[in-house]
A = this chain, B = another copy of it.
Amino acid sequence: MSDYRLPFQDILFVLKELIGIEALNKLPSLTAITESDLSAILDTAGKFASERLAPLNRCGDLQGAILKNGNVQTTPGFPEVYQAYCDAGWSSCSADPTYGGQGLPQVINTALFDGWNAANLSFSLCNTLTESAAQLISEHGTTKQCNTYLPKLISGEWTGAMAMTEPQAGSDVGSILCSASPETNAYRLKGQKIFISWGDHDLAENIIYLVLARMPNSPTGSRGISLFVVPKFLPDGKGGIDQRNDVQCINIETKLGIHASPTCVMEFGPKEGALGWLVGEPNRGLNAMFTMMNIARLAVGNEGLGIAERAYQQAGSYAKSRFQGKNKNNSPLKIIDYPDVQRMLLSMKARVEAMRALCYDAALSVDLSRHHPDQKIKTFYYDRVALLTPIVKAWCTDGAVEVTSTNIQIHGGAGYIEETGAPQLYRDARITPIYEGTNGIQARDLVKRKIGDDDGFAMNAFIEEMRQFDGALSTSNDRTIAAIRGRFAEAGATLARTTHSIIDLLKSDPNTAEAAATPFLKLAGTVIGGYYMARSALIAESKIMENTTKNDFYRSKLITALFYAENILPEATSSALAATGGAAAVAQMQPEYF
């Protein structure tokens, strides 16, 4: 298995130079963070990721979670490292200080998860779910629910799990059947839920399920679904746990990857019914779930980033150490000396950098949407997050599949051997385009809701922001910047034009617009990624002029941005053609033709 080191320089570049997190220090409701604080946090996190989480990644793959006598046992070493993770305060970083959190911005948490996800995706998924559960309860729960659950979830003593899917209800959440019958002060839940990540385990003393279920006589479909909090052990009201609730893991799935993350089939109420409490309003469970889901979707995009970063590191280190062939002077060559390997590495590096900038900027927008004192600015960032969420989720996870595949390819035959760890990254990455809403659903969300609902207002605002940036690029005399500018302007115009077509199509032929959604999302991701790369390039170019000790770092950034502009941005053209003309063939196809 490969080593992993947190990419400090790249992270600091994005946080400080590219997106400018110092803006957050002006916001009254966030804990201010100094440069030295930031360095210290990243330094400590980097050590924890490299020394504690990364070494367990392959163990988790080889010896995944197992179900034994009705209880899930995690990979040896996981319980200890989970305890250490909580003890170090990582579980509480960006949580609300009212309930014991440290109140750090979401963008800092995103940088930390860049490391956790890379080091050990199976492990970090548990913490992502716990943070999502806490988020959901804090937004929709009663004061009592907040007081009961939030301190425990934030400290990591208890973990969270989302119980939505049922065998007949996957992407179609509206068709769930799990029932919730009212009793005095509580409900009794009955039904089977599948695909419950970290649905049972031995890391913490309690697990808090957020369960979608139907109350008696509720409307059919998605408007009759309510959200319940169902603890594995009932809280004793004094911060401890009392008797076991009627909820049971009955199977765990054998999966392509993330073996250390138990994917559980959970039976709620096999006996008397599982005790649960309503969260939010009756029949509004899906709405509550969706407010949480934006954050979870951003988190999954960030998983794509982390795992792609690790694959890039592994490929780079292999390419720098593997000798094959000789040059004209008969000196041995490393495979990194071959142009095709350099091209592959650059393609990985370019995608990872664009993904990181996109993920972090979306997280910064989350912070601004939550904490900015000006309501108008808050709303602006809220809309920006809504727009970017499906793009972050789908584009970064598709990218992760591609980057982890390129890692295998750079390894040649060794890339197919499990011992190298390259196959695990490829297998682990493949879940990310699926869970938290498949990437097809993200694309539909982008087109139908995020663009259709506001007639392209938020998207056009973003396009205008990118167009404005062309002015900044035009001030440079650098030839590389000029080359990037040309490609970027063209791609931006393509996105603008295609957005216009999609808005028209949504009105005239919504089915065809839906068939165009996936190439449209790819187009948007490619161009927006190019925007961040162009911004990076301009910063790098000005730093190169200053001729600092970090000249190589900035030169690498500039060349990587050029590579992106000339090798990845052109994909905007083909995606745009597919999004505009390509969907017509889909409309002509009949199911029996397949």
Q: Would you call B511 and A168 a contact (CB within 8 A)? A: no
Inter-chain CA distance A17–B408, complex, in Å, is: 39
Inter-chain CA distance A578–B346, complex, in Å, is: 13
Q: Does A512 contact B (CB under 8 A)?
A: yes
Q: Which of these, B169, B338, B418, contacts A256 with CB under 8 Å? A: B418
Contacts of A80 in B (CB 8 A): none
Q: Would you call A339 and B515 a contact (CB within 8 A)? A: yes
Inter-chain CA distance A567–B584, complex, in Å, is: 10
Inter-chain CA distance A352–B341, complex, in Å, is: 28
Contacts of A592 in B (CB 8 A): 552
Q: Which of these, B255, B572, B593, contacts A416 with CB under 8 Å? A: B255
Q: Which of these, B346, B443, B555, B574, contacts A340 with CB under 8 Å? A: B443
Stretch touching chain B among A36-44, A228-236, A429-437: A429-437
Name the residue in A168, A435, A440, A567 with the highest tally of chain B Cβ atoms < 10 Å from its Cβ. Answer: A567
Q: Which of these, B415, B418, B511, contacts A339 with CB under 8 Å? A: B511
Q: Which of these, B195, B316, B408, B431, contacts A434 with CB under 8 Å? A: B408
Q: Which of these, B340, B346, B589, contacts A585 with CB under 8 Å? A: B346
Q: Would you call A170 and B340 a contact (CB within 8 A)? A: no
Q: Would you call A566 and B552 a contact (CB within 8 A)? A: no
Inter-chain CA distance A440–B587, complex, in Å, is: 37
Inter-chain CA distance A587–B339, complex, in Å, is: 8
Q: Which of these, B415, B418, B514, B593, contacts A559 with CB under 8 Å? A: B593
**Which chain A residues in 177-233 approach chain B with CB under 8 Å?**
194-195, 221
Q: Does A426 contact B (CB under 8 A)?
A: yes
Q: Which of these, B319, B334, B439, B573, contacts A574 with CB under 8 Å? A: B573
| Interface residues of A, dominant DSSP | helix
Inter-chain CA distance A264–B423, complex, in Å, is: 18
Using known A-B contacts A168-B323, A566-B581, determine if residue A256 contacts B573 with beta carbons closer than 8 Å. no
Q: Does A96 contact B (CB under 8 A)?
A: no
Give 1 or 0 for each of A522-555: 1 = CB within 8 Å of chain B CB. Answer: 0000000000000000000000000000001001
Q: Which of these, B254, B336, B483, B517, contacts A418 with CB under 8 Å? A: B254
Q: Which of these, B414, B511, B574, B588, contacts A562 with CB under 8 Å? A: B588
Chain B nearest Cβ from A194, distance in angstroms: 8
Q: Would you call A325 and B583 a contact (CB within 8 A)? A: no
Instruction: Report copies per complex.
Output: 2
Q: Which of these, B171, B337, B552, contacts A412 with CB under 8 Å? A: B171
Q: Does A145 contact B (CB under 8 A)?
A: no
Contacts of A431 in B (CB 8 A): 416
Name the residue in A175, A194, A563 with the highest tally of chain B Cβ atoms < 10 Å from its Cβ. Answer: A563
Q: Does A148 contact B (CB under 8 A)?
A: no
Q: Does A556 contact B (CB under 8 A)?
A: yes
Q: Which of these, B174, B344, B574, B589, contacts A342 with CB under 8 Å? A: B589
Q: Would you call A430 and B426 a contact (CB within 8 A)? A: yes
Contacts of A570 in B (CB 8 A): 573-574, 577-578, 582
Contacts of A369 in B (CB 8 A): none
Q: Would you call B319 and A594 a contact (CB within 8 A)? A: yes
Inter-chain CA distance A172–B571, complex, in Å, is: 33
Q: Does A244 contact B (CB under 8 A)?
A: no
Name the residue in A174, A341, A511, A589 with the highest tally of chain B Cβ atoms < 10 Å from its Cβ. Answer: A589
Chain B nearest Cβ from A583, distance in angstroms: 7
Q: Residue of B at shortest CB range from A341?
A: B440
Q: Does A427 contact B (CB under 8 A)?
A: yes
Contacts of A555 in B (CB 8 A): 593
Q: Does A591 contact B (CB under 8 A)?
A: yes
Q: Residue of B at shortest CB range from A313?
A: B594
Give 1 or 0 for each of A155-169: 1 = CB within 8 Å of chain B CB. Answer: 000000000010011
Q: Would you call A316 and B594 a contact (CB within 8 A)? A: yes
Q: Would you call A585 and B566 a contact (CB within 8 A)? A: yes
Q: Would you call B256 and A427 a contact (CB within 8 A)? A: yes
Q: Residue of B at shortest CB range from A253?
A: B417
Q: Which of these, B346, B413, B419, B515, contacts A254 with CB under 8 Å? A: B419
Chain B nearest Cβ from A43, distance in angstroms: 23
Q: Does A518 contact B (CB under 8 A)?
A: yes
**Which chain A residues in 288-320 approach chain B with CB under 8 Å?**
316, 319-320
Chain B nearest Cβ from A373, distance in angstroms: 41
Inter-chain CA distance A552–B593, complex, in Å, is: 7
Q: Which of these, B343, B413, B443, B552, contacts A195 with CB under 8 Å? A: B413
Inter-chain CA distance A204–B488, complex, in Å, is: 60
Q: Does A519 contact B (CB under 8 A)?
A: yes
Q: Does A476 contact B (CB under 8 A)?
A: no
Q: Does A401 contact B (CB under 8 A)?
A: yes
Q: Would you call A440 and B344 a contact (CB within 8 A)? A: yes
Pairs across A and B, CB under 8 Å, 20 listed = A221-B326, A255-B416, A255-B423, A256-B418, A338-B440, A338-B514, A339-B515, A339-B517, A339-B583, A342-B586, A343-B518, A345-B594, A408-B430, A409-B433, A416-B431, A555-B593, A566-B581, A566-B585, A567-B578, A570-B577
- Known: A256-B423, A339-B514; 10 extra A-B contacts, CB below 8 A, are A175-B325, A254-B419, A339-B583, A339-B586, A343-B583, A413-B434, A416-B430, A566-B584, A567-B577, A570-B573
